[in-house]
Chain A
């Protein structure tokens, strides 16, 4: 069935900043001057090299423009084409990769302001994640507090890999603020490259390795969040894994739950099985579907034990599927509705409350 007829929520689209100069109007005088004086480079992360096929599907590229930078094209190609009633903007401009916390605070503020003025103000179907300066959890909380009253900001954005495992208590002020404001934490593929993305074996040689290794990074973060007790301390907090893939999740939960049974006394605040915790507090976006087809996707859902975790996404303009095949053929209408409408609305209460039906 065509997803366009359902009218779902696209939980992962990527509006792109064409160039750093697009942020200048939103920086204060000092930083505007510093960017020019110092010749600050474009903050384009190697997580999505410009010419890598995955960075943009061929028909989402238009000559001379950065893919995802044109609102009219995003409207036509993502929103209208898939009939989405809302889409969540996750801006991947590399501001979270900076080392200086002052610079990160200034640039994340500017980026979030750019998102609000040039995307949210111009298209009522759009929502966004708050990009926070993880360099300083205290200033990340400031950034959350700055935007929390704007109901169009529906999530707090963290890249899949940063300085410390995300379960560590140094990040808890961020989770506390997010839980208080009813904002899920969205953890998106990509790294600030503080550590090799390949989970301890060393730096990879190829982009192929980097992108494949994202799944391992997500597993490690999920394990950290569960074992450190983030969901015990913040039971209402939801975490959404964005562009994480999904097929690895059941095997990882089998493994983690098995070891929790024997090692529980080391982490006594994990008072129920990690599988149960993930089912209640964690969600994952649909694209990329890292399974060959509908059968394997259904088996994966069966292994997880619930169909409530998957959230529809196109991952526009990244190239994850061809044509209209955002959902594999062969999923029943009920499951399609769960993925495209029910699960996203259950996860993002702010969208549920502000969406005009």
Chain B
């Protein structure tokens, strides 16, 4: 695992997502209200592109008919069969212990820190005045 500088922070405003390729792996990065999450862009079920899926909240029920809604925007549904994944952990909702997609650590680092190394910069020049999104993959 190594740290990759993938794009300047300004390229991913809140409410958006971006797919990058690190070492041949497609990785989707979400900005949810200023928090960043990164998942392998491949559903563990049959390989669908999770980056094309809808973000939704978590629906639970203490008993039939009593809906409990929480965590708005933190559940990703695969566009192929609708399986739910927790963006924070990559775990599926229907079988969390056995089915999950890979999740990656992602952070925002200032340019001044990045010029020190040992980050791997993807295709662009790092300047000290900007912040960058960094994925460990």
Which residues of chain A in 233-278 are interfacial with respect to chain B, using CB atoms and an 8 Å cutoff?
Answer: 233, 260-265, 268-269, 271, 273
Question: B63: which A residues are within 8 A, CB to CB?
Answer: 229, 232-233, 269
Is B83 in contact with A262, judged by CB distance below 8 angstroms?
A: yes
Question: B93: which A residues are within 8 A, CB to CB?
Answer: 264-265
Most buried by A among B61, B64, B93: B64
- Output the nearest chain A residue to B81 by Cβ-Cβ distance: A262
User: Does A142 interact with chain B (Cβ within 8 Å)?
Assistant: no
- Output the nearest chain B residue to A260 by Cβ-Cβ distance: B94
Least distance between A270 CB and chain B CB atoms (Å): 9
Which listed residue, B59, B82, B95, touches A268 by the CB 8 Å rule?
Answer: B59
Most buried by A among B61, B63, B65, B94: B94
Least distance between B91 CB and chain A CB atoms (Å): 13
User: Does B84 interact with chain A (Cβ within 8 Å)?
Assistant: yes
Which residues of chain B in 45-78 are interfacial with respect to chain A, using CB atoms and an 8 Å cutoff?
Answer: 45, 56, 59-68
- Output the nearest chain A residue to B75 by Cβ-Cβ distance: A265
Which residues of chain A in 182-241 are interfacial with respect to chain B, using CB atoms and an 8 Å cutoff?
Answer: 228-229, 232-233
Question: A228: which B residues are within 8 A, CB to CB?
Answer: 64
Is A232 in contact with B84, judged by CB distance below 8 angstroms?
A: no
Is B82 in contact with A263, judged by CB distance below 8 angstroms?
A: yes
Least distance between A211 CB and chain B CB atoms (Å): 33
Is B64 in contact with A264, judged by CB distance below 8 angstroms?
A: no
Least distance between A225 CB and chain B CB atoms (Å): 11
- Given contacts A261-B83, A263-B82, whether A232 and B94 have CB atoms under 8 Å apart is no
Is A229 in contact with B83, judged by CB distance below 8 angstroms?
A: no
- Given contacts A261-B81, A262-B82, whether A268 and B61 have CB atoms under 8 Å apart is yes
Question: B66: which A residues are within 8 A, CB to CB?
Answer: 269
Question: B81: which A residues are within 8 A, CB to CB?
Answer: 261-262
Which listed residue, A261, A265, A268, A271, touches B56 by the CB 8 Å rule?
Answer: A265
Size class of the contact patch on chain A: 10 to 19
Size class of the contact patch on chain B: 10 to 19
Question: B59: which A residues are within 8 A, CB to CB?
Answer: 265, 268
Least distance between A327 CB and chain B CB atoms (Å): 36
Question: A169: which B residues are within 8 A, CB to CB?
Answer: 64-65
- Given contacts A262-B81, A265-B84, whether A233 and B94 have CB atoms under 8 Å apart is no
How many Å lie between the Cα of A268 and that of B60 in the bound state?
Answer: 5
Question: A229: which B residues are within 8 A, CB to CB?
Answer: 61, 63-65
Question: A260: which B residues are within 8 A, CB to CB?
Answer: 94
Question: A262: which B residues are within 8 A, CB to CB?
Answer: 81-83
Question: A232: which B residues are within 8 A, CB to CB?
Answer: 61, 63-64
How many Å lie between the Cα of A271 and that of B94 in the bound state?
Answer: 8
Is A233 in contact with B64, judged by CB distance below 8 angstroms?
A: yes
Question: B94: which A residues are within 8 A, CB to CB?
Answer: 260-261, 264, 273
Which residues of chain B in 1-37 are interfacial with respect to chain A, using CB atoms and an 8 Å cutoff?
Answer: none
How many Å lie between the Cα of A280 and that of B108 in the bound state?
Answer: 48
How many Å lie between the Cα of A229 and that of B93 in the bound state?
Answer: 18
Which residues of chain A in 86-135 are interfacial with respect to chain B, using CB atoms and an 8 Å cutoff?
Answer: none
- Output the nearest chain B residue to A231 by Cβ-Cβ distance: B64
Least distance between A267 CB and chain B CB atoms (Å): 8
- Output the nearest chain A residue to B45 by Cβ-Cβ distance: A261
Least distance between B110 CB and chain A CB atoms (Å): 39
Q: 17 additional contacts, CB 8 Å, given A229-B64, A262-B82, A273-B95?
A: A228-B64, A232-B63, A232-B64, A233-B64, A260-B94, A261-B83, A261-B95, A263-B82, A265-B56, A268-B61, A268-B67, A269-B61, A269-B62, A269-B64, A269-B65, A269-B66, A271-B60
Residues of A within 8 A of B (CB): 169, 228-229, 232-233, 260-265, 268-269, 271, 273
Residues of B within 8 A of A (CB): 45, 56, 59-68, 81-84, 93-95
Give 10 pairs: A residue, B residue, CB < 8 Å, sorted on A: A232-B61, A232-B63, A261-B45, A264-B93, A265-B93, A268-B60, A269-B61, A269-B63, A271-B60, A273-B95
| 6 nearest CB pairs, A to B | A229-B64, A262-B82, A269-B61, A268-B61, A262-B81, A261-B94
